[in-house]
Every structure is written in C-alpha cells, then in structure tokens.
Amino acid sequence: MKLPGFTFYHRKGEKGLSVHRKSIAAYKDKIRVITCRSKPYSMSLRLERIRQLNQGWGHYFRLSDARTVFEDLDRWVRSRIRLCYWQQWKRTRTRIEGLTKLGISPNQAYQWGNTRKGKWRSVQSPLLRRALSKSYLKKEGFTSLMDIVKPS
C-alpha cells in the first residue's frame, strides 16, 4: 500500500507511519520561497503564508508518528523567520534599536548589532533566539506545526 507523502517504518517489531523525506524537502522548499530575503514581502504577509502552508501540511500529516519531524521543522522555520527580521534590519543602528525594543540590554544589542558574523549564524545565537522567541513570534502571528498537530 502506498500513501502520497508518507513512508512506513519498522522499529522493534512495531510498524508506523511517518512523513517521507521528499515531502519534508518539498515543505522546506516552499518555506524557502516564502522567507526568501530578496522578496519584498511584509512580515505579516510572510507569517500568513506560513500559517496557511502549516495548516494544510499539518492537517494532512496529522496521522503520522512524526512528532520529532514537526519539532525540527518548526525550529528551522523559526530560524528562517528570524533571518527575515535580521535582513529587514539592514543597518547596524536599526538592528540595535530592534534588539533593544525586544528587551535586550543596550550593551548586548550594540555587540550583536555590530557583529561580523554571517546572517544565518547570527540568527542561531541565543541572544536572537531570546529576543525573537517562540512567544514573540506567536504573538506576531506565527502558527507552528506542533500547534496544529497537537492543539493545546
């Protein structure tokens, strides 16, 4: 039996249903298009498109035993969103102001606003993860896959 987008696995005598790796790659490609830094979308439009994609994808793959897959994808999507914010704050002064508005101390904001690290490495930092946290992104309108698969 074959189901589009799913894969079967055997582990310790158990059989289960998971998300196929090609489906995960296709999802990531769609997220890359939405969060492409060169596209002049507003963050609200990006978050709305991600919400729509996550709802469709989450409802379709809800049957699978892929909790870790959803958690990993959510973590990766949040990093892509942080990357969009970091890219929007192009200038050092704007980055410092943005970080201080989000509750980072002025000294730390100055250090990270002036960093020479690459964009992807910067958004992986604990400081930016704290500033643009899960709760902040949720307040801005981000709906994660885990919220859809396992409603609270």
- Distances in Å between the Cα of 98 and the Cα atoms of 95, 110, 114, 119, 145 are 5, 11, 13, 15, 27
pLDDT for residue 7? 77
Contact 50, 34 (CB under 8 A): yes
Q: Per-residue pLDDT tens for 77-113? A: 999 999 999 999 989 999 999 999 999 999 999 999 9
Report the range of poorest mean pLDDT among 61-65, 83-87, 139-143, 144-148. 61-65
Asked whether the predicted pLDDT for residue 76 surpasses 80, the reply is yes
Judged against a pLDDT cut of 90, whether residue 67 lies above it is answered with no
